[in-house]
Amino acid sequence: MAARSNSQGFTLIDDAWIPVLDLEGRHREVSLRGLFEQADEIRMIACELPTQTFAILRLALAVLHRSADGPPSEASWRALWRGRRLPLSDLADYLDEFRDRFDLLHPRHPFYQVAGLRAEKDNAYGLERLIADVPNGMPFLTSRAGPGMESIPPAEAARWLVHCQAYDPAGIKTGALGDPRVKKGKGYSIGVGALGNLGGVYLDGATLLETLLLNLVPIGPLRQPADERDVPVWEREPQSAAEEPGATRGPYGLLSLYTWQSRRIRLFGDAGGITGAMIAIGDRLDRQDRQLLEPMSVWGRSAPREREQKRVPIYLPRPHDHTRALWRGLQTLLPPPVPAASEPPQRLSATVLQWLARLTRDGVVSRDFQVRPHAVSVAYGTQQAVIDEVFSDSLTMNVLLLVEDSALRATAIDATGDAESAVRALRGLATNLVRAAGGPDDNGAADRAAERAYAVLDQVFRNWLAGLGPDSDPTAERADWQQRVWRAVDLIGRELVEAAGPVAWVGRTKLDRNGREIHYSSYQAETWFRRDLAKALPMTITTDQKQEMPA
């Protein structure tokens, strides 16, 4: 175990550690102070993993919220937005006031760590405890092997430290001395890190300055009233190895959520390099019904908990569906329509999206403004003890799509349904061609055809969606979309028929589930496909063509 040098620190405020992409497309690293001062010159935070980017963005937002004093009202936020500015003077004063709390190597209160944290047995710790493995069992970057795992610069360690507090897997951790929960040297699982169960959502603007402001949701109707106990962790007394008592740890608001300490961590090394990390269990966090505190996640009702606790509604954060692109689940991302009288909605969109929808309705944000909702979540495996997959996707869209009663929003959602219906028709074609050729009656061919179609439609939809605006005619735009889908799916269908071969052309007779004889051939399969595709995309078919279609 390397000893920590106290002669030289590493302050996240003034030392460069945050990777960014500037407006000219150059990658570089900036300090926390530089992130704010250069926000209008930076395109985005650009870390190794999208989960790192999300975690560091939330850290920056905690600083900005505190420096902007909330902001305390919508009017205060409007002033920042209209001036396209950050409160740089207040930010500088705030960072200077808490400068020593942002020192990664401070001897008494190192950033996001516990000084002197140790186990009963003074073991040596490697960096594999700190650096996320994605996928399971393999370092995310192959350069981690060998010397790459012996030491990393403090800047990189700082990024992984923030990521660990946010997304560390569940499972047994090193037992820390002074933690009464430890049994036989082990700290038993308290769940994943603070962001591990979120369906994370943030708004990506044209510059980092816009991104910071768009996600700076002020105190108001969309959030619970401010609680004076809600402060970021660096404004509180340094934590010990033990879990903070439930009566004082909160969370009391988004500041404590943005800086929640899921783990007790100690880095080993010095300013020349970090060589290891001890990671122990920290503060538990129950996300149930925190939707008014947590603005950057989608939520859904939990039927099991509602049955167990005998009350409704109960909401939990909902990680994104990693099996499909974000556009295919557009309806679950956007703010839902107002539900029927007394029935609580089944899902809730992220508050940051609701906030931007409100600003659009009120005319604060221009109706032609383009925004990129960005989704981030993690899939864990084996009792959530390993990270299996990181999900990240974004969509460029007009802000009117966020407004609940917008015709443009309805058109976009209907368009995703058009695509799903067309792909179902293609799946049917693939299945029937296999039957005509005498192949196995399974879903393999249909799955491959659907995967191919979604891959083609992915960029087609993104381009179409980005082209929607306040002057778009919803009916004409949907007709245009159906034509695009028809061209893409029809081409794949033709290629499947051509590849089926002479055996499928001759075909074969087979009994259906009701015992009826049906002759399958490539000709018949294509005929059914044309019928189903016409039903899926009715705006592509003329009246005369509809009358000629087979039943």
Gap between the terminal Cα atoms of the chain? 75
Residue 11 lies in a domain: no
For residue 146, pLDDT over 60 is answered with no
Alpha-carbon distance values, 234 to 87, 101, 156, 454, 510 (Å): 20, 6, 20, 46, 71
Would you place residue 306 in the very low, low, confident or very high pLDDT band (cuts 50, 70, 90)? very high
Whether 199 and 314 share a structural domain: no
- pLDDT score of 134: 41
- Of the residues 355, 382, 402, which one is the last residue of a structural domain? 402
Quote the CA–CA distance of 64 and 36 in Å, as a whole number. 9
- pLDDT score of 144: 54
* Paired tokens of 138: 């393999």
For residue 474, pLDDT over 50 is answered with yes
Residues paired with residue 316 on neighbouring β-strands, in sequence order: 300
Residue 389 lies in a domain: yes
Residue 289 lies in a domain: no
Full residue range of the structural domain in which residue 28 is found: 18-281
For residue 7, pLDDT over 60 is answered with no
Quote the CA–CA distance of 184 and 317 in Å, as a whole number. 34
pLDDT in tens, 28-40: 999 999 999 999 9
Residues 6+ apart with CB under 8 A from 521: 436, 504, 505, 506, 507, 508
Whether 212 and 336 share a structural domain: no
| Lowest-confidence pick of 87-91, 329-333, 370-374, 483-487 | 329-333
The three-state secondary structure class of 116 is coil
Q: Could you tell me which residue, 370 or 405, shows the higher pLDDT?
A: 370
Whether 238 and 360 share a structural domain: no
- Of the residues 222, 246, 281, which one is the last residue of a structural domain? 281
For residue 5, pLDDT over 80 is answered with no
Strands (E), 395-523: 397-398, 508-511, 517-520
- pLDDT score of 241: 95
Whether 76 and 191 share a structural domain: yes
Label residues 125-158 b or e (16+ Cβ within 10 Å = b): bebebbbbebeeeebeeeebeeeebebbbbbbbb
Residues paired with residue 414 on neighbouring β-strands, in sequence order: none
Cβ–Cβ < 8 Å for 167, 192: yes
Quote the CA–CA distance of 76 and 162 in Å, as a whole number. 29
Residues 6+ apart with CB under 8 A from 302: 288, 314, 315, 316
Whether 396 and 411 share a structural domain: no
**Secondary-structure breakdown of the chain: helix, strand, coil percentages, each rounded to the nearest 5:** 40, 15, 40
Quote the CA–CA distance of 10 and 271 in Å, as a whole number. 6
For residue 3, pLDDT over 50 is answered with no
Residues paired with residue 268 on neighbouring β-strands, in sequence order: 276
Whether 326 and 308 share a structural domain: yes
Residue 516 lies in a domain: yes
* Paired tokens of 262: 């899921």
* Paired tokens of 400: 């009117």
- pLDDT score of 2: 37
Mean of per-residue pLDDT scores for the chain: 90
Helix H or strand E segment including 43: strand 42-45
Quote the CA–CA distance of 258 and 268 in Å, as a whole number. 25
Residue 2 lies in a domain: no
For residue 485, pLDDT over 50 is answered with yes
Residues 6+ apart with CB under 8 A from 40: 84, 207, 208, 209
423-432: average pLDDT = 96
- pLDDT score of 143: 47
Residue 13 lies in a domain: no
For residue 380, pLDDT over 80 is answered with yes
Whether 353 and 455 share a structural domain: no
531-545: average pLDDT = 83
For residue 153, pLDDT over 70 is answered with yes
- pLDDT score of 197: 95
Quote the CA–CA distance of 488 and 536 in Å, as a whole number. 14
59-65: average pLDDT = 97
Whether 224 and 79 share a structural domain: yes
Cβ–Cβ < 8 Å for 95, 88: no
**How many CA atoms within 13 Å lie on the side-chain side of 88?**
12
- pLDDT score of 363: 92
Share of the chain above pLDDT 90, in %: 78
Q: Among candidates 147, 158, 149, which has minimal Cα distance to 56?
A: 158
Cβ–Cβ < 8 Å for 196, 381: no
Whether 60 and 24 share a structural domain: yes
For residue 57, pLDDT over 70 is answered with yes
Q: Among candidates 220, 203, 254, 219, which has minimal Cα distance to 365?
A: 203
For residue 148, pLDDT over 70 is answered with no
Would you place residue 340 in the very low, low, confident or very high pLDDT band (cuts 50, 70, 90)? low
Quote the CA–CA distance of 16 and 146 in Å, as a whole number. 26
Quote the CA–CA distance of 418 and 412 in Å, as a whole number. 10
Residue 286 lies in a domain: no
Quote the CA–CA distance of 493 and 526 in Å, as a whole number. 8
For residue 6, pLDDT over 60 is answered with no
- pLDDT score of 514: 79
Cβ–Cβ < 8 Å for 447, 428: no
Query: Do you find a cis peptide bond into 440, omega within 30 degrees of 0?
Result: no
* Alpha-carbon radius of gyration of the chain: 27
26-52: average pLDDT = 97
Whether 352 and 304 share a structural domain: yes
The three-state secondary structure class of 534 is helix
For residue 515, pLDDT over 90 is answered with no
Whether 494 and 515 share a structural domain: yes
Amino acid (1-letter code) at residue 341: A
pLDDT in tens, 283-298: 999 999 999 999 999 9
Q: Total structural domains in the chain?
A: 3
pLDDT in tens, 228-275: 889 999 999 999 999 998 878 889 999 999 999 999 999 999 999 999
Q: In the chain, how long is the greatest CA-to-CA distance?
A: 85
- pLDDT score of 426: 97
- Of the residues 385, 402, 419, which one is the last residue of a structural domain? 402
Helix H or strand E segment including 266: strand 263-270
- pLDDT score of 228: 86
- pLDDT score of 434: 93
Q: Could you tell me which residue, 97 or 513, shows the higher pLDDT?
A: 97
326-345: average pLDDT = 83
- pLDDT score of 339: 65
Would you place residue 302 in the very low, low, confident or very high pLDDT band (cuts 50, 70, 90)? very high
324-350: average pLDDT = 85
| Lowest-confidence pick of 162-176, 305-319, 340-354, 402-416 | 340-354
* Paired tokens of 385: 């003890």
Q: Among candidates 140, 142, 119, 143, which has minimal Cα distance to 130?
A: 140
Cβ–Cβ < 8 Å for 115, 106: yes
Whether 52 and 178 share a structural domain: yes
- pLDDT score of 102: 98
For residue 371, pLDDT over 70 is answered with yes
Share of the chain above pLDDT 70, in %: 92
pLDDT in tens, 169-219: 999 999 999 999 999 999 999 999 999 999 999 999 999 999 999 999 987
29-53: average pLDDT = 97
The CATH number of the domain holding residue 479 is 1.10.132.100
Residue 33 lies in a domain: yes
State which of 139-148, 353-362, 542-551 shows the largest mean pLDDT.
353-362
Quote the CA–CA distance of 508 and 432 in Å, as a whole number. 11
